[in-house]
Amino acid sequence: MPQLTVYSKAYTATSDLPFQVDVDTRNMVSAVNIHCYNQDCYYGNVGMQEGIIRANAVVWFDGKIKVSDLWFKNLTAGQNTTVVITGILIGGPGSG
């Protein structure tokens, strides 16, 4: 049975500009959970962040996602959110 590698990475916004939690384009994950802490945030792709995750909520995706394709932005200016992405690493450094 292959060994599974759990992926987990966090980022706290430092401005009101869109941000990525992970910029490594090699990291692919499945069974993705996105945790939002402290403040509400938008999520989406590089060109549009219109989905909303409320503070202390979790959004999940049952599929494969390249982590660097996910972008986030504070919902309210000046209220910096913390985003944590967890999942099973299926591609990228350390994926075995």
Coil, strand, or helix at residue 67? helix
Question: CA-CA distance, 47 to 70, in Å (whole number)?
Answer: 10
pLDDT band at 41 (very low <50, low <70, confident <90, very high): very high
Domain map (residue ranges) of the chain: 5-91
Is the separation of the CB atoms in 82 and 10 below 8 Å? yes
Q: What's the whole-number average pLDDT of the chain? A: 92
In CATH terms, the fold of domain 5-91 is Jelly Rolls (2.60.120)
The CA R_g of the chain, rounded to the nearest whole Å, is 13
56-74 confidence digits (pLDDT tens): 999 999 889 999 999 999 9
DSSP secondary structure letters along 14-61? SSSS-B-S---TT-EEEEEEEEEESS-EEEE-SS-EEEEE-TTEEEEE
